[in-house]
């Protein structure tokens, strides 16, 4: 196994939504952590609050909130689900990711580490890291900011031996006793007899040493991804323009994408709730053309929605909730390298709908009517594209074209074909020597298909009425395929084949 440990030394401070610099987090009257400006003024962990205020009178002080830190770590764990399903939150302020089983998937440890650290920067968290074969060893090395990969036990143990005894975070009684013994590094403890060491400092620290060195098994309690997804984020300042919410929304959707990977799910619909400091919340519904789990796709759609949104009041918090989920289907990788896929039809349609409005993107739906003008109607796009996935100019028309090229006519028993392009109003065609003309004489390739229908709305205002026509598939000297009909008034061009 190989563990990537991510330690967040400023988590008590960075988990707070509203803060200003210089600032520090305190607990029981003592400083726990300060930001860079506070540290530059001499503020450090363990100081009394009065001393810190004396060093930096303008210091903004916040009480430590364990609930916020826990929520921040859990959000990070959801986000990290895209890298590995095995995550542990046992260590304080530390995220443990088992990456040994994912190396081939991502192309090696270096690729995973680079992606994880880049994500931490995007989430605005200060991070120290290390990779080691044992979770506790990786966590201790990350705490000192090792920033190294130790793939073998020997190299990890050598690095652990040089760590100070304060790194494991044992109780003060234990560390004070070790100092009184003159023991400064963990390697010094390893040289002492185990039985005597247990009598002097207890079983816990000794067992920790054995687990860190890999001498004792250290099974981790895995993080359990929540059954449902709904997370909140408070903004560092009130936002008055919708497009400025993209950055905060990206953090939410990054966590959603990781949670979906961890749960092996896809989302079809989610909602983003905008909480205002004055007035009711604004709900923003995001519907996807097909179930998805791609963060980039989520953010692109969010940008489209926010670009059209006018805020009625400043926003102070966001809440993202996954409303409709589906199971992620299994898929096999391609045997050979494939060309990079484009955005795709469905993703393009969902972006158009977000940009132009819900009713601006329509599709053609079928109607139970033989009259071509009445056989289709405009309707909302059904993103379950089963019925739109095949063109009516499908295999029947293709085989009809091939047969016509060979024989010069369409087989009498071929299925009736319909063009995808109908003219809004049939175009009257001239006739010469009994043959219709359209860029030259038209050659009729099919037998007449008679349509007689529509008697029920004859005489109604705006209705098509009763039609009696003989339809033919025809071709002109330019090779263009047309759909023409003849009625009592003559010849007409009604549609074109692609």
Q: What is the pLDDT of residues 46-67, one digit of tens each?
A: 899 999 999 999 999 999 999 9
- Written as six digits, the tokens of 381 are 């796009």
* CA separation, residue 22 to residues 11, 17, 39, 57 (Å): 16, 15, 9, 10
Cβ-based neighbours of 72, under 8 Å, separated by 6 or more: 11, 14, 15
102 shares its domain with 148: yes
Query: Residue 98: what pLDDT?
Result: 95
Count: domains in the chain: 3
482 shares its domain with 445: yes
Domain that holds residue 89: 3-16+65-213
Q: Is residue 42, in this structure, part of any structural domain at all? A: no
Of the three residues 186, 213, 240, the one that is the final residue of a domain is 213
186 shares its domain with 263: no
Strands (E), 49-157: 60-63, 87-88, 94-98, 128-132
Of the three residues 317, 352, 387, the one that is the final residue of a domain is 352
Q: Is residue 374, in this structure, part of any structural domain at all? A: no
181 shares its domain with 240: no
Q: How far apart are CA 439 and CA 436, in angstroms?
A: 10
| CA 178 centroid distance within chain | 49
Annotate 340-356 with DSSP letters as a single string: PP-S-HHHHHHHHHHHH
Of the three residues 181, 213, 245, the one that is the final residue of a domain is 213
Query: Residue 374: what pLDDT?
Result: 79
Inter-residue contact 82 to 264 (CB < 8 Å) = no
* CA separation, residue 238 to residues 274, 279, 283, 310, 455 (Å): 11, 14, 17, 15, 64
Kind and range of the H or E element at 50?
helix 49-55
Q: How far apart are CA 166 and CA 164, in angstroms?
A: 5
Query: Residue 212: what pLDDT?
Result: 94
Q: Is residue 142, in this structure, part of any structural domain at all? A: yes
> Which residues pair with residue 322 across a beta bridge?
270
123 shares its domain with 239: no
- Measured in residues, the chain has a length of 498
Q: Is the dihedral of CA 295, 296, 299, 301 positive or negative?
A: negative
Query: Residue 213: what pLDDT?
Result: 95
**Which tens digit of pLDDT belongs to each residue from 129-149?**
999 999 999 999 999 998 999
Q: Which of 56, 67, 51, 68 has its CA nearest to residue 17?
A: 68
Query: Residue 18: what pLDDT?
Result: 66
Q: How far apart are CA 415 and CA 176, in angstroms?
A: 91
The DSSP code for 14 is H
> Which residues pair with residue 324 across a beta bridge?
269
Kind and range of the H or E element at 167?
none
Q: Is residue 58, in this structure, part of any structural domain at all? A: no
Q: Is residue 28, in this structure, part of any structural domain at all? A: no
Predicted structure pTM score: 0.68
89 shares its domain with 173: yes
Q: Is residue 367, in this structure, part of any structural domain at all? A: no
Q: Is the dihedral of CA 78, 81, 83, 84 positive or negative?
A: positive
106 shares its domain with 172: yes
179 shares its domain with 236: no
> Which residues pair with residue 366 across a beta bridge?
376
Q: Tell me the CATH number at 282.
A: 3.30.1490.100
Query: Residue 10: what pLDDT?
Result: 92
12 shares its domain with 161: yes
The low-confidence residues of the chain, meaning pLDDT below 50, are 385-406, 411-415
| CA 110 centroid distance within chain | 23
417 shares its domain with 462: yes
Cβ-based neighbours of 422, under 8 Å, separated by 6 or more: 372, 373, 494, 495
Q: Is residue 199, in this structure, part of any structural domain at all? A: yes
208 shares its domain with 253: no
- Written as six digits, the tokens of 278 are 């004055």
Query: Residue 389: what pLDDT?
Result: 40
Q: Tell me the CATH number at 105.
A: 3.30.70
319 shares its domain with 468: no
Q: Is residue 338, in this structure, part of any structural domain at all? A: no
């Amino acid at each position: 196994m190989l563990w990537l440990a991510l330690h967040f030394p400023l988590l008590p401070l960075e988990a707070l939504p509203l803060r200003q610099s210089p600032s520090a987090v305190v607990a029981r009257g003592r400083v726990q952590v300060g930001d860079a400006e506070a540290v530059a003024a001499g503020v450090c962990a363990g100081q009394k609050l009065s001393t810190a205020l004396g060093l930096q009178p303008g210091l903004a002080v916040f009480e430590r909130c364990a609930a916020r830190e826990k929520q921040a770590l859990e959000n990070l764990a959801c986000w990290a689900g895209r890298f590995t399903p095995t995550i542990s939150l046992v260590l304080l302020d530390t995220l443990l990711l088992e990456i040994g089983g994912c190396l081939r998937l991502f192309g090696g440890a270096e690729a995973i580490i680079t992606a994880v650290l880049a994500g931490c920067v995007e989430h605005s968290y200060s991070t120290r890291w290390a990779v080691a074969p044992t979770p506790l060893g990786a966590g201790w090395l990350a705490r000192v900011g090792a920033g190294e990969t130790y793939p073998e036990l020997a190299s990890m143990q050598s690095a652990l031996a040089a760590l100070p005894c304060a790194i494991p975070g044992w109780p003060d009684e234990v560390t004070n006793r070790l100092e009184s013994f003159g023991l400064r590094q963990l390697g010094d403890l390893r040289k002492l007899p185990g039985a005597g060491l247990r009598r002097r400092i207890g079983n816990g620290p000794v067992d920790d040493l054995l687990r860190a060195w890999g001498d004792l098994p250290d099974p981790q309690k895995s993080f359990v991804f929540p059954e449902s997804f709904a997370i909140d984020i408070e903004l560092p300042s009130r936002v008055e323009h919708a497009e400025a919410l993209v950055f905060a929304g990206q953090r939410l959707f990054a966590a959603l994408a990781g949670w979906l990977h961890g749960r092996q799910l896809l989302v079809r619909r989610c909602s983003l709730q905008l909480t205002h400091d004055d007035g009711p919340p604004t709900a923003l519904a995001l519907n996807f053309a097909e179930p998805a789990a791609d963060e980039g796709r989520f953010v692109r759609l969010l940008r489209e929605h926010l670009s059209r949104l006018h805020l009625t009041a400043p926003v102070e918090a966001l809440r993202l909730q996954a409303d409709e989920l589906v199971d992620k289907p299994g898929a096999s990788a391609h045997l050979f390298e494939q060309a990079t896929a484009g955005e795709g039809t469905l993703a393009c349609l969902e972006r158009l709908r977000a940009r132009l409005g819900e009713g601006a993107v329509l599709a053609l739906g079928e109607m139970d009517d033989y009259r071509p003008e009445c056989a289709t109607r405009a309707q909302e796009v059904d993103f379950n594209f089963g019925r739109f996935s095949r063109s009516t100019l499908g295999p029947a028309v293709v085989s009809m074209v091939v047969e016509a090229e060979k024989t010069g006519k369409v087989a009498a028993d071929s299925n009736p074909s319909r063009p995808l392009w109908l003219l809004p109003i049939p175009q009257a065609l001239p006739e010469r020597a009994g043959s219709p003309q359209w860029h030259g004489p038209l050659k009729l390739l099919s037998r007449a298909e008679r349509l007689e229908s529509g008697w029920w709305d004859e005489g109604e205002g705006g209705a098509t009425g009763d039609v009696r026509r003989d339809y033919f598939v025809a071709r002109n000297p330019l090779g263009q395929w047309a759909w023409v009909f003849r009625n009592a008034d003559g010849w007409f061009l009604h549609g074109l084949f692609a």
